[in-house]
């Protein structure tokens, strides 16, 4: 059987085969219009939003130069082969990379392209009259009717209009004449435009969030500073350990103020043995000073930043900063400072570096561990069994030689490059590592001078000379491994990490004493182990070692606007989900017997499961207004 001659696939009469399909040719303007429509479609906007979330993942997997420049340096040191390749992919600058910015800008344009035409259409819809009443309301699913009603038609229509207006509907009265010449009067009502308004507010607020984040990032800054008790943070560029300004931030506009760290308080769990030593609270007590000389005592806690001069100061981390004094052979002070030691575990076993570049016959470098509550393991290495000062011990390995700081290249204060230096104490040297407790002093090898571990709580107390009295512990890499410490240190500008809560840390004196041997002699009494349930401020050592706090100073001028737009996003979303879009009609017509017929009907624009109940409720209220029985003559 052959196909009809006019079938689309049929051969042409001359047998030349199928006729080619003629398609319109898109010129340059047509292709631009097509690309714009694709970009501004809601499907594309959702795809770009999902893609933006996916490409942001590397920002949490790799250290970023904008927030952790020292982490990037450390990553290059630890991964010299893969780091350059990842850097070429801009994985250390994810949020300022070309590919992330492209997606961000495309999403921004797509949202604007969606919003503008929809806003124009919505504005036109708001100004239009409600649509005319359908001729046959009975065809609608939600329909009710009353017949034989003895009321005036005009009164019934006005009463229905009043009810609908008070219910939030926009109303319009129409007069219609049916084919048979029968005249009817109806009220056309609609509401729910707030749903589309909420939708537009949601999308506009999303654009606002993107703008606020971009502007805030460009005009804001982040600065990190490690502050020891008794020291001051001044909000100037030179005082920060690291400073990350936005692209458009002017450092000359830094708000002038100073924040002094008066004291740092740490509270640890001592009652629950299963959680012994876990941190409960950290409090940095500070004094703020403004340019006019006004001072105030404030506090900074975890997740409770200090708000001052348009900046927020967050508490990031904390640890111990032993006060060290080095004297030459003639007992002249050549170095004295409170040196931050970086925590290596939950019990604050801490690693630090001391550098003495001047004042002695040779430059000195010392690497050491500080143990707030020292105990000796079976291997001979020390470890800390509790994060507070119960039995503090400082061990130091000493190197002499060139520190490499005279070459002009920046060096980290938390690491010591011992290549080319001679170890004169600890390790494989002939001299034992130096062990000190607060208020003790020891001679340096080769008659170079002496080193004192100052007691910060009793600076005027008599110093005890312990040269040669301490048994040499296992130090260096073996000690670090036994203590769970990281000997790599951290770059100079890196803020020490917050010590995380310990889980299942044994109470000092319980598991600790099971595999611990006698610690060095305690000049204040005690045997080197802390009793179970010991106070977090053991008598004799409370405040003996200063603590440091790591602060992050954050300024974001778009922060408030982000909050405002975020609230609008939520409000717009809730409105667009909860407000129904519907149309309702009430038609009054004569039935030819001196009475009227009243019809009620509704139509939903989308899902509206409550529409039927709304039409029924309108029927009942209208009947009460007209003085009719609520169910008299009502049919579905």
Count CB atoms within 10 A of the CB of residue 488: 12
Out of 119, 149, 166, pick the residue that ends a domain: 119
Nearest CA-CA partner of 533 in 392, 437, 390? 390
Whether 619 is in a domain gets the answer yes
- 577-616 tens-digit pLDDT: 888 899 999 999 987 777 889 999 999 988 888 999 999 9
Which structural domain, as residue segments, surrounds residue 389? 319-553
Q: Residue 574's pLDDT is what?
A: 94
Q: Residue 259's pLDDT is what?
A: 95
Out of 119, 142, 161, pick the residue that ends a domain: 119
CA dist 7 and 276 (Å) reads 87
Contact present, 571 and 201 (Cβ < 8 Å): yes
- 333-362 tens-digit pLDDT: 999 999 999 999 999 999 999 999 999 989
For residue 272, pLDDT beyond 50: yes
Whether 63 is in a domain gets the answer yes
- 13-59 tens-digit pLDDT: 555 556 666 777 778 888 888 888 888 887 888 899 899 889 999 98
Task: Examine the domain organization and report whether 134 and 52 are in the same domain.
Answer: no
Tally the domains of the chain: 3
Write out the H or E segment, with its range, that includes residue 125.
helix 98-127
Exposed, middle or buried by CB within 10 Å (0-12, 13-18, 19+), for 590?
Answer: middle
Locate tokens 């400072």: which residue?
Answer: 337
CA dist 322 and 339 (Å) reads 6
Whether 384 is in a domain gets the answer yes
Whether 7 is in a domain gets the answer no
Region 103-117: what's the mean pLDDT?
88
For residue 212, pLDDT beyond 50: yes
Q: Residue 347's pLDDT is what?
A: 93
Whether 269 is in a domain gets the answer no
Task: Examine the domain organization and report whether 464 and 603 are in the same domain.
Answer: no
Task: Examine the domain organization and report whether 471 and 392 are in the same domain.
Answer: yes
Task: Examine the domain organization and report whether 372 and 424 are in the same domain.
Answer: yes
Q: Residue 280's pLDDT is what?
A: 93
pTM surpassing 0.85? Answer: no
Contact present, 190 and 583 (Cβ < 8 Å): yes
Whether 573 is in a domain gets the answer no
Task: Examine the domain organization and report whether 350 and 489 are in the same domain.
Answer: yes
- 375-427 tens-digit pLDDT: 988 888 899 999 999 999 999 999 999 888 877 667 778 888 888 899 999 88
Write out the H or E segment, with its range, that includes residue 39.
helix 28-39
- End-to-end Cα distance, the chain: 54
Q: Residue 183's pLDDT is what?
A: 83
Structure confidence at residue 480 as a pLDDT band (50, 70, 90): very low
Count CB atoms within 10 A of the CB of residue 112: 15
How far from chain centre, in Å, is Cα 387?
A: 28
Structure confidence at residue 82 as a pLDDT band (50, 70, 90): very high
Task: Examine the domain organization and report whether 506 and 596 are in the same domain.
Answer: no
Task: Examine the domain organization and report whether 343 and 363 are in the same domain.
Answer: yes
Task: Examine the domain organization and report whether 80 and 139 are in the same domain.
Answer: no
Whether 245 is in a domain gets the answer no
- The domain that contains 610 carries what CATH number? 3.30.310
Out of 553, 588, 610, pick the residue that ends a domain: 553
Contact present, 453 and 546 (Cβ < 8 Å): no
CA dist 608 and 616 (Å) reads 14
Task: Examine the domain organization and report whether 468 and 344 are in the same domain.
Answer: yes
Region 276-292: what's the mean pLDDT?
93
Q: Residue 501's pLDDT is what?
A: 33
Task: Examine the domain organization and report whether 112 and 145 are in the same domain.
Answer: no
CA dist 615 and 601 (Å) reads 6
Q: Residue 546's pLDDT is what?
A: 96
Nearest CA-CA partner of 425 in 527, 354, 342? 354
For residue 160, pLDDT beyond 90: yes
Task: Examine the domain organization and report whether 601 and 511 are in the same domain.
Answer: no
Contact present, 100 and 168 (Cβ < 8 Å): no
Task: Examine the domain organization and report whether 527 and 589 are in the same domain.
Answer: no
Whether 613 is in a domain gets the answer yes
Region 461-479: what's the mean pLDDT?
61
Torsion sign (Cα): 204, 209, 214, 219: positive
């Amino acid at each position: 059987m052959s196909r009809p001659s006019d079938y689309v696939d049929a051969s042409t009469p001359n047998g030349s085969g199928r006729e080619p399909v003629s398609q319109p040719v898109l010129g340059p303007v047509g292709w631009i219009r097509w690309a714009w429509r694709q970009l501004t479609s809601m499907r594309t906007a959702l795809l770009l939003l999902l893609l933006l979330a996916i490409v942001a993942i590397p920002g949490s997997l790799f250290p970023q130069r904008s927030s952790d420049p020292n982490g990037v340096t450390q990553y290059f040191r630890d991964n010299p082969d893969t780091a350059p390749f990842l850097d070429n992919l801009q994985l250390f600058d994810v949020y300022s990379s070309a590919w992330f910015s492209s997606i961000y800008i495309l999403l921004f344009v797509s949202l604007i392209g969606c919003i503008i035409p929809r806003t124009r259409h919505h504005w036109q819809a708001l100004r239009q009259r409600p649509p005319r009443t359908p001729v046959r309301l009975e065809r609608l699913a939600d329909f009710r009717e009353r017949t034989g009603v003895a009321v005036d038609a005009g009164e019934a229509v006005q009463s229905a209009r009043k009810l609908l207006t008070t219910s939030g509907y926009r109303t319009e009265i129409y007069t219609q004449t049916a084919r048979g010449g029968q005249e009817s009067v109806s009220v056309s009502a609609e509401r729910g435009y707030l749903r589309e308004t909420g939708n537009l507010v949601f999308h506009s607020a999303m654009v606002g969030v993107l703008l606020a984040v971009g502007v805030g990032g460009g005009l804001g800054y982040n600065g990190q500073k490690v502050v020891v008790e008794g020291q001051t943070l001044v909000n100037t560029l030179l005082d920060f350990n690291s400073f990350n300004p936005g692209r458009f931030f002017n450092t000359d506009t830094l708000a002038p103020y100073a924040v002094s760290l008066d004291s740092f308080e740490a509270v640890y769990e001592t009652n629950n043995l299963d959680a012994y030593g876990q941190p409960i609270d950290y409090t940095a007590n500070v004094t703020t000073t403004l340019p006019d000389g006004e001072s105030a005592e404030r506090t900074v806690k975890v997740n409770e930043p200090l708000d001052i001069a348009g900046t927020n100061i967050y508490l990031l981390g904390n640890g111990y900063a032993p006060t060290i004094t080095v004297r030459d052979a003639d007992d002249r002070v050549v170095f004295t400072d409170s040196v931050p030691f970086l925590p290596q575990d939950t019990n604050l076993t801490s690693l630090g570096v001391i550098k003495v570049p001047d004042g002695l016959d040779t430059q000195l470098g010392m690497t050491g561990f500080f143990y707030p509550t020292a105990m000796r393991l079976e291997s001979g290495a020390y470890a800390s069994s509790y994060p507070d000062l119960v039995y503090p011990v400082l061990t130091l390995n000493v190197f002499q030689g060139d520190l490499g700081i005279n070459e002009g290249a920046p060096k980290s204060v938390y690491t010591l490059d011992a290549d080319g230096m001679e170890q004169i104490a600890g390790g494989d040297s002939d001299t034992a590592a130096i062990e000190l407790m607060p208020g003790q002093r020891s001679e340096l090898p080769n008659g170079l001078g002496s080193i004192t571990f100052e007691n910060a709580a009793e600076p005027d107390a008599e110093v005890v000379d312990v040269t040669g009295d301490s048994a040499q512990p296992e130090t260096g890499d073996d000690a670090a491994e036994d203590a769970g410490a990281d000997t790599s240190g951290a770059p100079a500008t890196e803020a020490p990490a917050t010590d995380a809560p310990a889980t299942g840390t044994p109470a000092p004196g319980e598991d600790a004493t099971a595999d611990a041997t006698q610690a060095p002699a305690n000049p204040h009494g005690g045997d080197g182990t802390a009793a179970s349930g010991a106070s977090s401020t053991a008598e004799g050592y409370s405040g003996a070692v200063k603590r440091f706090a790591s602060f992050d100073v954050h300024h974001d001028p778009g922060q408030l606007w982000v909050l405002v737009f975020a609230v609008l996003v939520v409000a717009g979303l809730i409105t667009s989900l909860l407000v129904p879009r519907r149309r309702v009609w009430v038609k009054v017509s004569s039935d030819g017997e001196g009475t009227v017929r009243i019809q009620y009907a509704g139509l939903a624009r989308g899902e509206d499961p409550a529409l039927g109940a709304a039409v029924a409720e309108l029927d009942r209220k209208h009947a009460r207004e007209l003085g009719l029985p609520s169910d008299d003559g009502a049919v579905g």
